[in-house]
Structure 1
Amino acid sequence: MPADSRAIFAAKWVIVDAFHSHKNHAIYVSQGKICDLAPFPELRSRYPEATLHKDESTVIAPGFVNAHHHCFGVNLVNQGIFDDVLEPWILSAAGAADISSRTATEYASLRLLKSGVTAVVDCCTAAETVALSESKIREKIQVFSSLGLACAVAPGERWQNRLVHPDGQDQAFLASLPESLRGTLQRKHISRKRLEPENYVNLISRLHEEYRGTDTVDIWFGPTAPHWTGRRLLRDIGRTVREKGVRVQTHAEESLLQHRTIGGADFPTSISELAQSGLLSENLSLAHMVWADDKDLNRVADMGAHIVCNPSSNLRLRCGIARAPRMKSLGINLALGMDGTSLANDDDMFAEMRLARNLYWSDDPTQPDLSAQDVFDMATMGGARLMGMDQHIGSLSIGKRADFQIVNLNRLKGPWLAEHVDPVELLVSSAKSTDIQKVYTGGSLAVVDGETCGRDEHDVLQNVAEEMQRATDQKLSTKDYATLRSCLMRWYENWLADNVRPA
């Protein structure tokens, strides 16, 4: 169905948002937007000329917002890069096959669409030069937009601490390695050319201004994390954010080692660093925040910043479990991200919600846990608010973009389903991406029964396979990785023993 068509979509339930569902209702879509919502008989009588799509064995729900993602291309496990503690995993993941940004983004986009995701925050690496970085950003926007995905592209880089966390310790760590590994890490991590910080700030500022008038495309700063960015650059970004309203997403308090080794007397935590740089505001979203303490969470709440939780990633990379119930109790807007590392490598947002629901129990028995509605909100309106696009996406409210999914209930109903069951509870507890019948973006059909409409998936998969075949195998050998991992963990253990005072 093209976006300019007029159509009625009717189902057993219409989920407007996490907290408002209507039985035997329908939506009226015209010009790519939700134009009306009412009980089906009423809507049919109002728009008798509209094309009718009616299926009482389905539920209509908003498209999901994946609020923190990396387009890795082929699953890292398929490349022989296995889950581990975050710090050695990062050094290993740098050896992932270097396929083109366009191909990786197309492949990721198709996977997300088939999971009902219609908006994404793409945290990517900036290229070596201004020209290459600009080309990469525009290419990503073109891919997302052509497939109907709302997007924010947030490039970043590791400008410092390229091997280990404590500031200025890279060379000391490098010297601790066997000579056979030094050259490899020097080449891949220390000497790799990066976009100059000043050029980075100017580029993101310029592109943000160019796309400012669009409803569903944005360019953000994506400094990888405070300890990888540096104080001076963070302050330059903060100044631009205050002057031009650019949004920022960064990783923060992701792992225990990050938490224990960053900062100093002036800036004991990443949140302190961000606050002093002028970045702690409603324009900032923080990915992970697993190890943030109450003081930091209170500062985040006071300044209106957002947190995006990534439960699968935090389990796979041994980071821990975010205190999402505490965050919510403080009034922090929470979103959900798959981080390119969903639990089964399938980018299934239903599975991510289900994991969040079952992991995020309150450690205070007097405080409520996250409900199914809470995690559904994280995956929809929470992400839309984080993106600053909540007036356009995230729910099926009248006037918003017609980004929605039609989920078949036959498998979920089984032999019997109580009439009073909440459809949000049903989806969060039991649905899979394979239950999605159709996905619409901006009123246009994007997915039908697992097949994408806007791009030849076979062509994309062939491109992935061909580029992977040509790509140089950059990953460390099993033996070298084992040696590096042992040296890295021993180095952190020694550094922590010498530099971190007991609590």
Structure 2
Amino acid sequence: MEQVDLIISADWIIPVEPRGAVYTDHAIAVKDGRIEALAPSSEIDARFQAAESIDRPGHVLIPGLINAHTHAAMSLFRGIADDLPLEKWLGEHIWPAEARWASAEFVRDGTELSICEMLRGGTTCFQDMYFFPDVVAQAAAERNIRAVVGMIVLEVPTAWAQNAAEYIDKGLAVHDRFRGSPLVYATFAPHAPYTVENETFERIRMLADELDTHIHMHVHETASEVDDALRDHHQRPLRRLDDLGLVSSQLAAVHMTQLEDAEIELVAERGASVVHCPESNLKLASGFCPVDRLLKAGVNVALGTDGAASNNDLDLFGEMRTAALLAKGVAGDAGAVPAARALTMATLGGARALGLDGRIGSLEAGKA
């Protein structure tokens, strides 16, 4: 018999891939943190001997959930400002609070609190964007949670960096420090088209290509963002980003509530992913991401909670429910985003958006 570390069985196993499959009387064999096999329990028992066995009658076994957009440290700002549109929420409350409180200690405490909340809710991987990404990465490594940590980039000074060049340089140091980590990865995280200049975007694109990293950014979050871009750049943000070479399979575009048909076609053609944050968009009245249209166009859609300050929790099960219900209302179609699709968005869709679908996101042999 083959020796493995762990055999897990449950009354139902939902592997996510193939989509819609639900297995009964099955088990998973795990060795060195990787799935060796998923098969009927009788086959697993006949083939493997495990150091430990876990049986969960009455339970469903699914892949770990992937929160594809967070600001983990902002759990300390939970409830600080409600019932406000994004611009007032940011400009009059969040940015002043960050100017006063954001520090390495603040980020450490907030991130650790969020990690506890996410792990309790079944989230085993998150993609973050915040100041002091070195602290976020270290906290994730110490707590043994998988994290894609954003090397945030802005043009304005904060407690983390003084200008775009310093943001990039300090971010690259984080990338180098955690290169080769089995759990922590770094990605570029320019905040948004309205906070980053063209020259900076061009450098980010060049470095992302050179380092083979992804780009994680807020895009088309509100109608006013698009209107301001037309006034300032004479282009909608997505078109500007495409002209700069940033709309590609490396891009995880967060929110995307304001999309024309041609923009959906562009995203599909370029292979970019969209990260849908339905509860944050609802709280801030930012708009509705056209999830059903994106999916029908072949776009990969992931799910994120955003930060706890704009949600106000990090519960991906709640996010799946909201995403499924909202999609039906927006599409005028009760069949839009069925349960299996919502689960895919919170697992394999997230893995694809993070560039980790070869490692996580579904219960398949070889994956963690």
Alignment TM-score, normalising by the size of structure 1: 0.66
**Deviation at residue 26 of structure 1 after TM alignment:** 0.8
The 5 Å alignment of 1:22-61 reads 22-61=23-62
Change (3 A) 1:230 1:360: same
Question: Equivalents in 2 of 1:343, 1:353: separation in Å?
Answer: 17
Change (3 A) 1:365 1:95: closer
Question: Equivalents in 1 of 2:159, 2:46: separation in Å?
Answer: 64
Does the 8 A contact of 1:221 with 1:246 survive in 2? yes
Aligned residues between the structures: 357
The 5 Å alignment of 1:258-407 reads 258-264=225-231, 267-341=234-308, 345-361=312-328, 369-401=336-368
Greater relative contact order, per chain length (Cα 8 Å cut-off, separation 6+): 1
Structure with the higher fraction of residues in strand conformation: 2
Question: Equivalents in 1 of 2:135, 2:165: separation in Å?
Answer: 22
Per-residue Cα deviation, 1:256-278 (whole angstroms, up to 9, x for no partner): 21122113486511111111211
Matched AA of 1:263: L
Who is 1:240 aligned against? Answer: 207
Who is 2:122 aligned against? Answer: 116
Does the 8 A contact of 1:362 with 1:368 survive in 2? no
**Deviation at residue 63 of structure 1 after TM alignment:** 0.5
Does the 8 A contact of 1:76 with 1:93 survive in 2? no
Q: Percent identity?
A: 29
Question: Equivalents in 2 of 1:74, 1:63: separation in Å?
Answer: 25
Matched AA of 1:110: C
Matched AA of 1:19: G
Residue 16 (structure 1) aligned with residue 15 (structure 2): yes
What are the ranges of 5 or more consecutive residues in structure 1 without an aligned counterpart? 126-135, 161-189, 402-503
Change (3 A) 1:267 1:217: farther
Change (3 A) 1:195 1:220: farther
Per-residue Cα deviation, 1:343-377 (whole angstroms, up to 9, x for no partner): 87332211110000000127566895111111111
Change (3 A) 1:109 1:198: same
Question: Equivalents in 2 of 1:142, 1:366: separation in Å?
Answer: 44
Change (3 A) 1:329 1:120: same
Question: Equivalents in 1 of 2:116, 2:328: separation in Å?
Answer: 32
Question: Equivalents in 2 of 1:202, 1:343: separation in Å?
Answer: 29
Does the 8 A contact of 1:325 with 1:362 survive in 2? no
**Deviation at residue 49 of structure 1 after TM alignment:** 4.6
SS of the residue corresponding to residue 73 of structure 1 reads: helix
Residue 149 (structure 1) aligned with residue 145 (structure 2): yes
Who is 2:84 aligned against? Answer: 84
Question: Equivalents in 2 of 1:193, 1:381: separation in Å?
Answer: 32
Matched AA of 1:372: A
List structure 1 runs of 4+ shifted beyond 6 angstroms.
Answer: 190-193
**Deviation at residue 396 of structure 1 after TM alignment:** 1.3
SS of the residue corresponding to residue 222 of structure 1 reads: strand
Change (3 A) 1:23 1:365: same
Question: Equivalents in 1 of 2:312, 2:234: separation in Å?
Answer: 36
Per-residue Cα deviation, 1:282-322 (whole angstroms, up to 9, x for no partner): 11110000012112221111111110000000000111211
Change (3 A) 1:307 1:267: farther
Alignment TM-score, normalising by the size of structure 2: 0.89
What are the ranges of 5 or more consecutive residues in structure 2 without an aligned counterpart? none
Question: Equivalents in 2 of 1:265, 1:316: separation in Å?
Answer: 27
Does the 8 A contact of 1:312 with 1:341 survive in 2? no
**Deviation at residue 242 of structure 1 after TM alignment:** 2.7
Residue 255 (structure 1) aligned with residue 222 (structure 2): yes
Who is 1:103 aligned against? Answer: 109
Matched AA of 2:122: G
Does the 8 A contact of 1:288 with 1:308 survive in 2? yes
Q: Single out whichever of 299-308 and 203-212 deviates more from structure 2.
A: 203-212
Per-residue Cα deviation, 1:152-181 (whole angstroms, up to 9, x for no partner): 111325426xxxxxxxxxxxxxxxxxxxxx
Who is 1:65 aligned against? Answer: 66
Question: Equivalents in 2 of 1:294, 1:326: separation in Å?
Answer: 9
